[in-house]
Amino acid sequence: MKRYEIKHLLKEDVSALLDTSINIKGWVRTKRGNKNVAFLAVNDGSIIHNMQVVVDLANFDEELLKGITTGACVSVDGKLVKSQGQGQAVELQAENIILYGTADPDTYPLQKKGHSMEFLREIGHLRPRTNTFGAIMRLRHNMAYAIHTFFHEHGFYYFHTPLITASDCEGAGEMFQVTTMDLNNLPRKEDGSIDYEQDFFGKQTSLTVSGQLEGELGATALGKIYTFGPTFRAENSNTPRHLAEFWMIEPEMAFYDLDSLTELEEEFIKYCIRWALDHCMDDLEFLNKMVDNGLIERLKGVIATDFVRLPYTEGINILEAAIKNGKKFEFPVFWGADLASEHERYLVEEHFKRPVIMTDYPKDIKAFYMKQNDDGKTVQGTDVLFPQIGEIIGGSVREESYDKLTARMNELGMDRKGMEWYIDTRRYGTCPHAGFGLGFERLMLFITGMGNIRDVIPFPRTPKTAEF
């Protein structure tokens, strides 16, 4: 008997299959009925919707049916027919049922009603079987696919940067050390310090916090590259927006300036949102109904509006004017201050009411590699600020001048040792270039309307938590 995925049966033209016998396989979401007939809602993960299986109790063994409960796995042969009931176009009249696996209802934690996200996190090994997480994971796949498709169509090459790095100058955060040494018996040098020469790589190594520096090496050879891989930050951040292990997308483009950079940022993120609306409407409709009633409207709103381009200095002026008009902020606003969440939210959610790309930040609050403006005060950094989730993209034009870059490194007291390979990009055939970084899970928060980043990745890693 030929097996069909439920997505095919519900979404394709199946008129040729009507009144013929076919097979489906999947997990039972609910069983209901009376003493004559039972209805099984079977889900195989291919789509959020279930196939209704109609079971005439007279034709089946009572013991078999008793074992078919929420969570059980079944294979059903049956005749595909137009549904007599409301709520679905077709249904399967069961002819033969194989019970692959039971799910003892006394211990199976998933029910057909209301679970909290907190509870589902505790049963991370089973939560992919819920409607909500099925929808999120299908969207997650689609976003990954959309990202690769966007870059491929725009002439970018997927460039694989290392996960293990010996660079201690990445500066983007605390790093996880990588070692094969016995932590209970560390080799020491004469002065008592740890002898990393005896470690696997012969030096101290860590998990990467960013692929950007290596990405620049790719861009200065291939023109346009992007990375898309796991990233690790050992920071003790306990918030709904941070993970210790997350996925990051980092495109890097030779010959891009500030205008072409912000244009790409906007086009890229709109492409991803449009992809979700074009390819994932069933899952979005479910999330819109169950998680966030404003989701679809907000997604459509973002792709229909132009993002604001806002130099930092103008942003400060707007915030100072707001304060003059009585707006209260917890943190002070002055030129040179790093903007707090409340300031960003005011600009995006209250003042402009649409996404904002802020540019030209004071150099002292941004990274050493950002291109310095002629004013001597600002650098060409960009943050794309979104409603509700804040910074979704951080990028910049890179400083391509050997003299300016190294002068800035000296100013910041950075150790050039171990960084000479990066500086070589400016020493040999340097070029104007730019790039940005997008936290994949931050994008997922926006796409799904979920409130906690731990719920848009299958197995979240956060301080004190590495289950499953």
Residues of this chain, 34-93, that bind RNA according to CB under 7 A: 34-37, 39, 41, 52, 54, 69-70, 83-88, 91, 93
Q: Which of 318, 340, 423, 431 binds RNA (CB under 7 A)?
A: 340
Tokens matching residue 417: 């040792």
Q: What is the CA radius of gyration of the chain?
A: 27
**Residue whose CB is less far from RNA, 221 or 412:** 412
**Residue whose CB is less far from RNA, 432 or 451:** 451
Q: Which of 124, 362, 432, 451 binds RNA (CB under 7 A)?
A: 451
**Residue whose CB is less far from RNA, 237 or 401:** 237
Q: Which of 150, 159, 196, 246 binds RNA (CB under 7 A)?
A: 246
Sheet holding 433-439, edge to edge: 157-158, 224-232, 245-254, 433-439, 390-398, 378-386, 356-362, 308-311
Binding letters toward RNA, positions 341-380, x by CB under 7 A: xx--------------------------------------
**Residue whose CB is less far from RNA, 278 or 350:** 350
Backbone phi and psi for residue 228, each to the nearest 5 degrees, phi listed first: -155, 100
Nearest approach, Cβ of residue 368 and RNA (Å)? 12
Question: Binders of RNA among 273-332, rule CB under 7 A?
Answer: 331
Q: Which of 172, 277, 303, 431 binds RNA (CB under 7 A)?
A: 172
Closest CA to 228 of 258, 249, 197: 249
Q: How many chain residues touch RNA (CB under 7 A)?
A: 71
Question: Binders of RNA among 110-139, rule CB under 7 A?
Answer: 111-116, 118-119, 121
Nearest approach, Cβ of residue 327 and RNA (Å)? 15
Helix H or strand E encompassing 272: helix 258-279
Nearest approach, Cβ of residue 116 and RNA (Å)? 3
DSSP state letter for 3: B
> For residue 309, what are the contacts with CB-CB under 8 A and spacing of at least 6?
262, 357, 359
Q: Which of 1, 19, 33, 125 binds RNA (CB under 7 A)?
A: 33
Nearest approach, Cβ of residue 445 and RNA (Å)? 9
Choose the stretch contacting RNA; rule: CB under 7 A; options: 95-103, 149-157, 388-396, 424-432.
388-396
Give CA separation, 174 vs 170, 368, 467, in Å: 10, 17, 21
DSSP state letter for 349: I
Q: Answer yes or no whether residue 244 interacts with RNA by CB under 7 A.
A: yes
Dihedral of alpha carbons 140, 244, 302, 251, sign: negative
Q: For residues 345 and 358, what is the distance between their CA atoms, to the nearest angstrom?
A: 12
Backbone phi and psi for residue 439, each to the nearest 5 degrees, phi listed first: -75, 115
Q: For residues 30 and 9, what is the distance between their CA atoms, to the nearest angstrom?
A: 19
Question: Binders of RNA among 397-436, rule CB under 7 A?
Answer: none
Closest CA to 292 of 139, 122, 71, 87: 139
Binding letters toward RNA, positions 192-231, x by CB under 7 A: ------------------x---------------------
* Contact criterion met (CB below 8 Å) for 320 and 310: no
